[in-house]
A and B are shown apart, each in its own frame.
Chain A
Amino acid sequence: MRYLPKSDSERREMLAACGASSLEDLFAHLPEEVRLQRPLAIERGLSEYEILDYFRERGAQNASGGACFLGAGAYFHYRPVLVDAVVSRGEFLTSYTPYQAEISQGTLTAIFEFQTMMCQLTGMDVANASMYDGSTAVAEAAMMAARITGRKRLLAARTLHPEYREVLATYARNQGLEVVEFGYQPASGALDLEDLERKLDAATSAVIVQSPNFFGIVESVNAAGELAHRAGALLVDVFTEAVSLGLLAPPTGADIVAGELQSFAISPSFGGPYAGILATREKYIRQLPGRLVGETVDTRGNRAFCLTLATREQHIRREKATSNICTNQALVALMATVFMTVYGRRGLRELAEQNLAKAHYLGGKLPLRFSGPYFNEFVGTVEDPAALNQALLERKIVGGLPLARFYPELGDALLVCATEMARREDMDAVARVWEGAQ
């Protein structure tokens, strides 16, 4: 087998050195009854070409051949070619977690740069080296807020991504934390601050809001923050569309920022692997879960980087750890780092402005459900969303996400996303078909 670098004669030599006469001998000490007595029911090993064919066929089954206007937590953005050129290098792809600093400065330096750029984008003081994804980052942020405040109640906006809320519920239930949702204003699609204020109390540890929210609406996050702080709770600000960071003002009132970085050169890849980020204020650094890279010096006084504050983590604190996270999403975060480097300060701004322009071009042609300000996603209305999407599919266009499955009150609505990749002619086609379906 091409991945096993030994010849049979070498195996025999090694077996002799081990005092064994066959490979099976090495398992002889196991009780007979625990061993599998038949071959695995998995077909023969395939050649490289057969493997490629198999996956190409699966890929072909997946393609529509045309444009796609889905967003809702996973976004289509260009991936600069430099990203794959960098992450496919064996030194990054096949390296281990940088516990041995002397031979991992490549990974550690890149993570330090990543942490810095995330702080610059979010306006926070410290950022960790990634979480699994945005949804688990939110769950971890909630647990972090509960630890910091000692309180057990969480207020989550209904306009927080529905699947993120489900994940939050799973984690919260087992920590004895209560999750209460507060609503949105039916006209604007933005947070119902009055509903929030009514539900805030002295047991609330955190208020969790997303901006742009699931409907694409840009929220007054600081207003929610003021209410939260007055009640002694923390504000957790969430983003699912990282490109928005290039244009939207980071909320000054946030205590923790939790988000999803998939938009930064991470392929949509049917839902994963993505990379979450958790960032916070300096004073909460010891409550932050996940790996952290810090700057230091070596014995010769040269600048060097290493993993630090490991005492928060599972391998030291064990049952008292801030989280159980071990493996994170380092390579995926590296993709984001290269993306941010390629675009740079001006590019991230220009990219976000293009997203705004594209979405507003399409949104300007469609009946919108909400009046609030939107970034690159919006909610459009049509009598029969399924029929509309079917008509679009016939033109090889994948339309927006029908919202009924998440918001029963929005049965006539679809969440539509247009990024810098959306072409005018495809948007015009969508508008035409949509108009015909009215």
Chain B
Amino acid sequence: MIRKARTHVNQNEPLLFELSSPGKVGYQLPPLDVPPVDAAAALGAQNVRGEIEDFPEVSEVEAIRHFTRLSTWNYSIDLGMYPLGSCTMKYNPRINEQVAQVAGLAWAHPYQPEALAQGALEIMARLEAALAEITGMDAVTLQPAAGAHGELTGILVARALLASRGNPRRTVLIPDSAHGTNPATAAIAGYEVRNIQSNGRGMLDVPALARIVDEDVAALMITNPNTLGVFEENIRAIAGILHDKGALLYMDGANMNALAGLVRPGDNGVDVMHLNLHKTFSTPHGGGGPGGGPVAVKAELAPFLPIPRLKRAADEWTLDYERGQSIGRVRAFYGNFGVLVRALAYILAHGGEGLRNATLDAVLNATYIRKGIEADYEIAAQAPSMHECVFSDARQAARGVHTGDIAKRLIDYGFHPYTVSFPMIVHGAMMIEPTESESKRELDLFIDALVSIAREVEEDPETVLKAPHSTRITRVDEVRAARKPVVRWRPAG
């Protein structure tokens, strides 16, 4: 029974190019207060373009209507829960948006003189310090633009340390449960990837690790809690095994929402890690970014961090470029500053105790969901769930219904699907992370929906298999989109 109503505005809003007609304008520039310049004369006629063919021309009214209508076709956190595992889709506080738009910050040019950039540098310094405290690490860089970018930065920093000791080594170990960015990152950093398996409890197989770590291994990339939502309780032993052979422990911090304020990776042997500001620290996903992927390291890795580094000199902040051992730059300028502002605002709003309470609520919410549905779905690992719980579709698959179908049916109940088919070590995975932003009411509705779907699988599987039924667009033909990719509009004929 569907208790939550959502309405979609059902206009058949066309594309901008289909709304366009020559001569319509949506802008007005002030008249020039200087003489106009003939482009062909100034630049050479061969350098001046002709018309921008088929580029849209619409009025301001059509523009706002167009994007407003488009927006109504989107699900969003403001509308309801995203139970996406390892995505930490928490509330995006609106105060964060306000402060990011403060004029002195939004209009700051990255090259403005340092004397006029102290406000921005102070914000970055404060955030670095807060993230170091939260992670238990010694130094932080805010440069990487997203988690994957942070992973690459972190692995390159690790590589640089090992190279400074005489041998960058050849292999990075990655659990079979890892997020795809981990092996992709290791490959881009020039390492070979070796997979390591999980044990029967859903944790890293420590004896297996001990057998394969040797002086060819540069690092192990671990996620903690792992992608089964389970805490790697042997983390210290794991770190010990690696350190004994001169290897490093990298932690993917995507699941920090289970740890902030309660466990610090730096206290448990992690040498280098990245954080996802657009996950744990509430910066908005915006349909796919921007994010922020700061990297936190132990002191011995700090000399290798990307330039520039923030430095205190006299009574001022300054950017330090004189760092001979640095891996270099990983991007132009200093980082996704606008995202950093939002993340700092989030930390300031919570304070130390608030961060801890948010983590406790996140774990409570996930545990509550697990209890609510474990009679109907097969839990993937017996160990306690932290901020996320992972189930398999094993029972439903016996009736021919798979995780992807259940996910689509959830849409009819007004929810965004959970993470489907990941991690790959669970057959038919259903990965659920509610975050602390969900009320009991919302969680109960979600549990009700999944329990109801489980019943539908028994009594009326067709409904689940053909879901969603209530959306403006039904299941899309992904095969057609891949066989004959059409990635831009073209005029007919």
User: Once the chains are docked, how many angstroms separate the CA of A175 from the CA of B142?
Assistant: 24
On chain A, the residues within 8 Å of B7 by CB distance are: none
Q: Is the C-beta of B180 less than 8 angstroms from some C-beta in chain A?
A: yes
B286 near A330 (CB under 8 angstroms)? yes
User: Once the chains are docked, how many angstroms separate the CA of A258 from the CA of B51?
Assistant: 21
On chain A, the residues within 8 Å of B70 by CB distance are: 105-106, 109-110
Within the complex, the shortest CB–CB distance from A122 to chain B, in Å, comes to 10
On chain B, the residues within 8 Å of A186 by CB distance are: none
B348 near A18 (CB under 8 angstroms)? no
User: Once the chains are docked, how many angstroms separate the CA of A72 from the CA of B27?
Assistant: 26
User: Once the chains are docked, how many angstroms separate the CA of A164 from the CA of B478?
Assistant: 36
B353 near A39 (CB under 8 angstroms)? yes
Q: Is the C-beta of B36 less than 8 angstroms from some C-beta in chain A?
A: yes
With A18-B371, A92-B286, A297-B476 as contacts: A350 and B29 at CB distance below 8 Å: yes
Within 8 A of B (CB), among A34-51: 34-36, 39-46, 48, 50-51
On chain A, the residues within 8 Å of B149 by CB distance are: 132, 136, 325
On chain A, the residues within 8 Å of B206 by CB distance are: none
Q: Is the C-beta of A194 less than 8 angstroms from some C-beta in chain B?
A: no
User: Once the chains are docked, how many angstroms separate the CA of A134 from the CA of B145?
Assistant: 12
Within the complex, the shortest CB–CB distance from B305 to chain A, in Å, comes to 12
Q: Is the C-beta of A323 less than 8 angstroms from some C-beta in chain B?
A: yes
Q: Is the C-beta of A30 less than 8 angstroms from some C-beta in chain B?
A: yes
Within 8 A of B (CB), among A215-270: 218, 246-250, 267-270
Within the complex, the shortest CB–CB distance from B385 to chain A, in Å, comes to 9
Q: Which of B100, B233, B348 is most buried by chain A, counting CB atoms within 10 A of its CB?
A: B348
On chain B, the residues within 8 Å of A130 by CB distance are: 289
With A36-B262, A163-B332, A272-B338 as contacts: A31 and B367 at CB distance below 8 Å: no
A106-B72, A167-B329, A298-B476 known; 20 other A-B pairs, CB under 8 Å? A6-B439, A27-B360, A29-B233, A41-B352, A45-B348, A58-B105, A58-B120, A62-B116, A70-B112, A73-B110, A91-B78, A95-B77, A97-B288, A100-B407, A107-B287, A167-B330, A299-B477, A313-B180, A398-B113, A424-B34
Contact among B25, B54, B287, B357 for A1, CB-based, below 8 A? B357
With A56-B102, A248-B48 as contacts: A319 and B183 at CB distance below 8 Å: yes
B364 near A11 (CB under 8 angstroms)? yes
On chain A, the residues within 8 Å of B276 by CB distance are: 327
B236 near A96 (CB under 8 angstroms)? no
B105 near A249 (CB under 8 angstroms)? no
A273 near B338 (CB under 8 angstroms)? yes
With A29-B231, A271-B110, A294-B485 as contacts: A304 and B156 at CB distance below 8 Å: no
With A34-B267, A314-B184 as contacts: A270 and B64 at CB distance below 8 Å: no
Within 8 A of B (CB), among A321-367: 321, 323-332, 334, 338, 340-351, 353-354, 356-358, 360-361
Q: Is the C-beta of B200 less than 8 angstroms from some C-beta in chain A?
A: no
Q: Is the C-beta of A187 less than 8 angstroms from some C-beta in chain B?
A: no
On chain B, the residues within 8 Å of A249 by CB distance are: 46-50
Contact among A46, A117, A136, A270 for B348, CB-based, below 8 A? A46
CB nearest to B444 among chain A residues: A14
Interface SS majority for chain A: helix
Q: Which of B294-302, B391-399, B455-463, B467-475 contacts A (4 or more CB under 8 A)?
A: B467-475
On chain A, the residues within 8 Å of B290 by CB distance are: 132, 272-273, 275, 327-332
B146 near A102 (CB under 8 angstroms)? no
With A98-B288, A330-B286 as contacts: A272 and B92 at CB distance below 8 Å: no
Contact among B42, B186, B351, B485 for A356, CB-based, below 8 A? B42
Contact among B29, B44, B333 for A354, CB-based, below 8 A? B29
On chain A, the residues within 8 Å of B77 by CB distance are: 90, 94-96
Within the complex, the shortest CB–CB distance from A352 to chain B, in Å, comes to 8
On chain A, the residues within 8 Å of B50 by CB distance are: 249
Q: Is the C-beta of B2 less than 8 angstroms from some C-beta in chain A?
A: no
CB nearest to B334 among chain A residues: A271
A93 near B286 (CB under 8 angstroms)? yes
A325 near B360 (CB under 8 angstroms)? no
User: Once the chains are docked, how many angstroms separate the CA of A424 from the CA of B335?
Assistant: 33
User: Once the chains are docked, how many angstroms separate the CA of A44 from the CA of B100?
Assistant: 21
User: Once the chains are docked, how many angstroms separate the CA of A159 from the CA of B93?
Assistant: 42
Q: Which of B241-249, B339-347, B425-433 contacts A (4 or more CB under 8 A)?
A: B339-347
A1 near B350 (CB under 8 angstroms)? yes
Q: Is the C-beta of B375 less than 8 angstroms from some C-beta in chain A?
A: no
